[in-house]
Amino acid sequence: MNEFDIIADYFRILTMGRAECAGLQDDAAVLSIPPGRELVVSTDTLNAGTHFLKNETPENIARKALRVNLSDLAASGADPLCYQLSMAYPQKPQAEWLAAFTGALLEDQKIFGIFCSGGDTTSIHGGVLSVSMTVLGTVPAGKALRRGGARAGDTIVLTGSVGDAALGLHAVWNGREAAYPKAVARHRLPVPRLAAVETVRNHAHAAVDISDGLLADLGHICEASHLAAEIRLAGGGSEGGLVLSDEVHMALLSAEMKMEDVLSGGDDYELVLAVAPDHLASLLAGLRKLSIPAQVIGRFMAGAPGVTVLDPAGTKLTLKAHGWQHF
Tell which positions 64-83 bind a second copy, by CB under 8 A.
72-73, 75-76, 78, 82
Q: What is the distance between the alpha carbons of residues 307 and 10, in angstroms, rounded to a whole number?
A: 46
- If binding is defined by CB under 8 A, does position 147 make contact with a second copy? yes
Minimum CB distance to a second copy smaller for 125 or for 289: 125
Binder among 6, 150, 169, 183 for a second copy (CB under 8 A)? 6
End-to-end CA distance of the chain: give it in Å, rounded.
37
Give the shortest CB-272-to-a second copy separation in angstroms. Answer: 11
Binder among 80, 119, 192, 241 for a second copy (CB under 8 A)? 119
DSSP 3-state of 267: coil
Q: What is the distance between the alpha carbons of residues 207 and 100, in angstroms, rounded to a whole number?
A: 34
Q: What is the distance between the alpha carbons of residues 145 and 200, in angstroms, rounded to a whole number?
A: 8
- If binding is defined by CB under 8 A, does position 48 make contact with a second copy? yes
Q: What is the distance between the alpha carbons of residues 73 and 42, in angstroms, rounded to a whole number?
A: 7
DSSP states along 174-236: TT-TTT-HHHHHHHHS----GGGHHHHHHH-SEEEE-SS-HHHHHHHHHHHHT-EEEEEB-BT
Minimum CB distance to a second copy smaller for 138 or for 199: 138
Binder among 35, 175, 236, 237 for a second copy (CB under 8 A)? 35
Minimum CB distance to a second copy smaller for 142 or for 175: 142
- If binding is defined by CB under 8 A, does position 320 make contact with a second copy? no
Binder among 15, 102, 109, 134 for a second copy (CB under 8 A)? 134
Give the binding range for a second copy (CB under 8 A) out of 178-186, 219-227, 257-265, 278-286: 219-227
C-beta neighbour count of 253 within 10 angstroms: 9
Chain centroid to CA 216: 14
Give the shortest CB-142-to-a second copy separation in angstroms. Answer: 9
Binder among 9, 38, 59, 177 for a second copy (CB under 8 A)? 38
